[in-house]
Amino acid sequence: MSQAISATESTVVIEHSKPNSPLMGQTKRYLFWVFLGCWLGGIFDGMDSSLMHIVLPDAVGELVGKSVGTAVTSQVASWVSTVFLLGWMLGGIIFGRLGDTLGRVKAMVFSILLYSLFTGLCGFAHSWQELAAYRFLTGVGIGGELVSIATFLSEVWPKKTKAIAIGCLLTSYQVGVFLAGGLNFLLHDWRQVFFVGALPALLVLFLRLFLKESPLWIATQEAHAHTELLLDDAGEIIRPPSLWQSFREKDQLRSLIVGSLAFTGLLVGYWASLAWIPMWIHSLENVPPNAKSFATMVQGSVAILGCLLGGPLCDAVGRRWSIVIAGLGCFGASAWLFLGHPTAFVPSVYWASGALGFFIGLSQSSLYIYLPELFETKIRATATGTCLNLGRFATAIAVLFMGVVVQSLGGYGNAAFAFGFSYLIGTLVMFWAKETKDASLL
């Protein structure tokens, strides 16, 4: 008679074989260290990914030469941004798979080391090609880190307050955006800014000392190892399903498509605003000193509030409706920011930038709460990483043709708003998605 480990049996293994299982309750002290480690990782993700947007005009201008003209500088800047996004996409998928095979904490540590090292090396770049290569590898690490922290926290945190905890976790990225603006405000040399961006490497020591592997992941690995020792009626070893077979089970493929489309909608619009706001402000009339840095800081700080409200909103109205509300808000704020300020800089740019930051934060936290809940433990990191990063390919293509789009649509503002329509993708796809508010992780 064939034997297999059912979902119920796996749950029993998880509940009784691991004393630190989230189903049996983690100590509050350990949960504090878990949250702190993930939160610090998210801060440095946000900071390192945002540094380039702020210093891009200065860095590229110095490396290609001031005499080449604005058009060439913009094109080179789009190439650097594109390879960074491609690295981010690749890193999210690769480290997602590593998280499922090697463990969540190991994937987190490797990704931090990678992006810390190459962020620091950006400060030594002698050509734009060298800078692009470093930014590609920085992107690989950042993409892997975001997948790792979201998956890890979703598995170790108690279900009752998990949505709120993940919403609070997402404030870290926006704090990092704020810090990036502050760094550029204090350090006027773009090379020094990148040197400071290498500091996250110190976080690795903290993570290795205090964080243990996810008990849910450990139990799943043990269950799969036990399955390989079982025989079917013909005497053949029962193998765990392949990755593709796992995706075909229990609507996992449908969830992958929904999650990828939803996050792609947010990502394309978010990247257009985050990457183009400094250059858009630079193109306006009557721009005060440090306006780019201050707008970035406003956007990042108000986004923190959006992230904090994401958890309570998801618990109140459900994951799907929270994502819909956030997507509509992003679209409306994008219209106010870019269409409401066509030529000259006025103080309301800060208000509109803050409104966009708020709804982006709300959307981010809602999606980071939702996506890990869609998948089983054995493919959670791989699937979440895929959802979070497939859209970066579309975004990378859009950024690659940024110069052409800006010229065709008559300026950065019109181009950024055009990409703002992508926010509506997330609202539409949610009507095909399933709700996970009261579901348990499998």
DSSP string covering 152-167: HHHHHS-GGGHHHHHH
Q: 365 and 310 in contact (C-beta within 8 Å)?
A: yes
* Alpha carbon 103 to its chain's center: 19
Q: How far apart are the first and last CA of the chain?
A: 25
The burial class, CB within 10 Å (0-12 / 13-18 / 19+), for 398 is buried
What's the token pair of residue 433? 């998605």
What's the token pair of residue 384? 């979440």
Cα separation values, 371 from 320, 375, 384, Å: 11, 8, 6
Residue 250 confidence (pLDDT): 61
The pLDDT tens digits for 275-292 are 677 777 877 888 787 777
Q: Which residues of the chain have pLDDT under 70?
A: 1-26, 66-71, 224-250, 273-275, 398-400, 402-403, 441-442
Characterise 2 by phi-psi region: left (phi > 0), alpha (psi -120 to 50), beta (else). Answer: beta
Alpha carbons 191 and 117: distance in angstroms, whole number: 14
Query: Quick one: CA dihedral 229, 235, 236, 240, positive or negative?
Result: negative
Residue 318 confidence (pLDDT): 92
The residue written with tokens 């108000």 in the block is: 302
Domain architecture of the chain: domains with CATH: 19-229+250-429 (1.20.1250.20)
Alpha carbons 325 and 313: distance in angstroms, whole number: 10
Residue 206 confidence (pLDDT): 73
The burial class, CB within 10 Å (0-12 / 13-18 / 19+), for 92 is buried
Cβ neighbours of residue 419 closer than 8 Å, sequence gap 6 or more: 268, 269, 271, 272, 398
Query: Angle CA(333)–CA(282)–CA(135) in degrees, nearest 5?
Result: 85
The burial class, CB within 10 Å (0-12 / 13-18 / 19+), for 237 is exposed
Q: 167 and 314 in contact (C-beta within 8 Å)?
A: yes
List the one residue out of 300, 324, 304, 303 whose CA is nearest residue 314: 324
* Alpha carbon 391 to its chain's center: 11
Query: Angle CA(155)–CA(160)–CA(162) in degrees, nearest 5?
Result: 45
Residue 402 confidence (pLDDT): 67
In 10 A of CB 19, how many CB atoms? 9
DSSP string across 167-216: HHHHHHHHHHHHHHHHHHHH---HHHHHHHTTGGGGHHHHHHHHPPPPHH
The burial class, CB within 10 Å (0-12 / 13-18 / 19+), for 275 is buried
Residue 231 confidence (pLDDT): 46
Q: 155 and 377 in contact (C-beta within 8 Å)?
A: yes
- Tell me the H-state helices in 284-401: 291-317, 319-339, 348-373, 380-400
In 10 A of CB 354, how many CB atoms? 21
Residue 15 confidence (pLDDT): 40
